Amino acid sequence: MQKADWMAKLQNQTKQFVERSSRAAKYAVERASTFVRTNKKQTLTIAAGLLLTAAIGASANYYYKSNIITVYHVAVNGQEIGVVSDPQVIHSWTQAKLEEEKAKHGLNLTMSDYITFTEETEYKAKFDNEAALKALSEVADIKVEAVKLVVDGKVVGYAENKEAAEKALNIVKEKFSGIPQDQGKKLTVSAASIGQPKAAPAVEVAIKEEVKLENDSVTAAQVLPVDKLEELLSKGTFKEVIHTVVEGDCVGCIAKKYGITSKDIYANNPGITENTVLQLGQQINVTALRPLVTVQVKEEVTQKESIPYTTQFQNNDKLPKGETKVVQEGKEGSKTVRYLVIKENGQVVERKVLDQQVDSQPLVKIVERGTKVIPSRGTGRLAWPARGSISSGFGMRWGRLHKGIDIAGSGAVRAADNGRVISAGWDGNYGKSVLIDHGNGMQTRYGHLRSISVKVGDVVAQGKTIGVMGSTGQSTGVHLHFEVLQNGRAQNPIRFLK
């Protein structure tokens, strides 16, 4: 039999007993009165018996009523956790618990669970205050009243209150902008002339994303102090990730493993550069810092800038070809430009001209270029003197400087540029050789010729045949030894050949 059924049966039996006892007492009194009228001798004894019966009935009624008890069923979020004698038992416990947590965290706490009471009155009702409180302590959810920061619809953290949240945001703004937030001014872009009196630059510092501050209830552990909240917003995390270098690691490999870039690793580890050799066991900070907010700074900047001059060329038929003459020196101009500069987290992302004013115009540079061709004067650009391939280049060879290049082949040798022959004949180790002065500080030498077709004093044009390739002098085979002398010093001919 269920407890509830048993209690109901007991209650019913008790009521029936009391009712029968009451009827019996009433009947006994009526019989006693009749009996007294008919038999006065036995009155005293019978009356005593009837009185005893009435007393028994009254006692039973009192016992039943004194055991009718009111109790309260306690439910947390609709789920019953126990029965108590008085709701105040629960209220006192929750109040004491909230005060205890408040003393620990210094925050305004609240019991987030929904506690209800159901009253019940019954014969000898059962309750257990201690058991109910124990069950409550296991399921009770104590929350703190806080403000959550929502960035573009995503909750990123919790602050103690609105003031703490705004303070953290202002610290982040100041960190990335370098502008104290009590000094920041709203940007106002006007069409005012640059020439007007100079005013303080207008600056706007704001969070680019949509930021909302909303009230919420969370556990005390989720609420961050201002410095931690600022660190989370500006870095994206306050948990560092450390990698220990193992065999085969490289900066790029490590970056790829953690989903970051090599630049992130260099930024996190000042001692590591592109040339650093990683050591086994070396500790590397691989935390990827990704700010949760973007601090956007819009600022008006006015600055002086130079205007570059242009160069204008004019032909001069009286000036030898290859020479130039500056007729008018160029001069830079200047202008004042007002920009709208937009920075995001300290990096310039846009620079827009609002207006500008020219302070001085640039002066064009005028240069005359010679067009007059003088056969004895070179152009400075040399033509290849012979057909063939380079068998030996310019530079150190056999312990000494090889002053020119060797062109292996056969056939005619031609003047590399316009000039005058100043030497033609045998020249020691060069064998049969020709030396041409080009009249511009440059001379060219042609060595080991088989034959020479010019003489000293001849004026030759670029491309004119001056001899035939051979192997005279100190030579190991048919080739042309070709030298370029500039102001008396040997130069690599390759620099001048076109």
| CATH number of this structure's domain 242-285, picked from the four choices 3.40.1780.10, 3.10.350.10, 2.40.40.20, 3.30.2080.10 | 3.10.350.10
Identify the top-confidence range among 85-99, 124-138, 413-427: 413-427
Residue 104 has pLDDT above 80, yes or no: no
Q: List the CATH code of the domain at 299-372.
A: 2.20.230.10
Which of these, 287, 288, 263, 265, lies nearest to 278 by C-alpha position?
Answer: 265
* Sequence spans of domains, the chain: 3-66, 70-140, 148-235, 242-285, 299-372, 389-495
Confirm if 488 and 453 have CB atoms less than 8 A apart: no
Report the first-to-last Cα separation within the chain, whole angstroms: 118
Residue 30 has pLDDT above 70, yes or no: no
Dump pLDDT digits (tens) for 32-89.
555 445 555 454 455 555 555 555 555 555 655 667 889 899 898 888 989 999 999 8
Residue 481, exposed/middle/buried by CB under 10 A (0-12, 13-18, 19+)?
buried
Which of these, 378, 372, 249, 269, lies nearest to 315 by C-alpha position?
Answer: 372
The full length of the chain comes to 498
Residue 112 has pLDDT above 80, yes or no: no
Q: Which residue has the higher pLDDT, 79 or 108?
A: 79
What percent of the chain stands above pLDDT 90? Answer: 45
Residue 387, exposed/middle/buried by CB under 10 A (0-12, 13-18, 19+)?
middle
Residue 455 has pLDDT above 90, yes or no: yes
* pLDDT value of position 11: 56
**Full-model pTM:** 0.46
* pLDDT value of position 203: 77
Amino acid residing at 61: N
Which of these, 387, 384, 371, lies nearest to 462 by C-alpha position?
Answer: 384
* pLDDT value of position 322: 74
Dump pLDDT digits (tens) for 361-378.
999 999 999 888 778 888
Which of these, 472, 427, 468, 435, lies nearest to 451 by C-alpha position?
Answer: 468
* pLDDT value of position 31: 58
Residue 325 has pLDDT above 90, yes or no: yes
* pLDDT value of position 64: 58
| CATH number of this structure's domain 389-495, picked from the four choices 3.40.47.10, 3.50.50.60, 2.70.70.10, 3.40.50.300 | 2.70.70.10
* pLDDT value of position 90: 85
* pLDDT value of position 376: 84
* pLDDT value of position 289: 74
Q: Which residue has the higher pLDDT, 255 or 42?
A: 255
Dump pLDDT digits (tens) for 267-307.
889 888 888 889 999 999 988 777 889 899 999 999 999 99
Mean pLDDT of the chain: 82
Mean pLDDT in residue range 243-253 = 91
Q: Which residues are registered as beta bridge partners of 111?
A: 142
Residue 142 has pLDDT above 90, yes or no: no
Q: Which residue has the higher pLDDT, 80 or 137?
A: 80
* pLDDT value of position 1: 42
SS (H, E, C) the chain: CCHHHHHHHHHHHHHHHHHHHHHHHHHHHHHHHHHHHHCHHHHHHHHHHHHHHHHHHHHHHHHHHHCEEEEEEEEECCEEEEEECCHHHHHHHHHHHHHHHHHHHCCCEEECCCEEEEEEEEECCCCCHHHHHHHHHHHCCEEEEEEEEEECCEEEEEECCHHHHHHHHHHHHHHHHCCCCCCCCCCCCCCCCCCCCCCCCCEEEEECCCEEEEEEEECHHHECCHHHHHHHHHHCCCCCCEEECCCCCCHHHHHHHHCCCHHHHHHHCCCCCCCCCCCCCCEEECCCCCCCCCEEEEEEEEEEEEECCCEEEEEEEEEECCCEEEEECCECEEEEEEEEEEEECCEEEEEEEEEEEEEECCECEEEEEEEECCCCCCCCCECCCCCCEEEECCEEECCEEECEEEEECCCEEECCCCEEEEEEEECHHHCEEEEEECCCCEEEEEEEEEEECCCCCCEECCCCEEEEEECCCCCCCCEEEEEEEECCEEECHHHCEC
Confirm if 488 and 403 have CB atoms less than 8 A apart: no
* pLDDT value of position 182: 62
Dump pLDDT digits (tens) for 432-448.
999 999 998 999 999 99
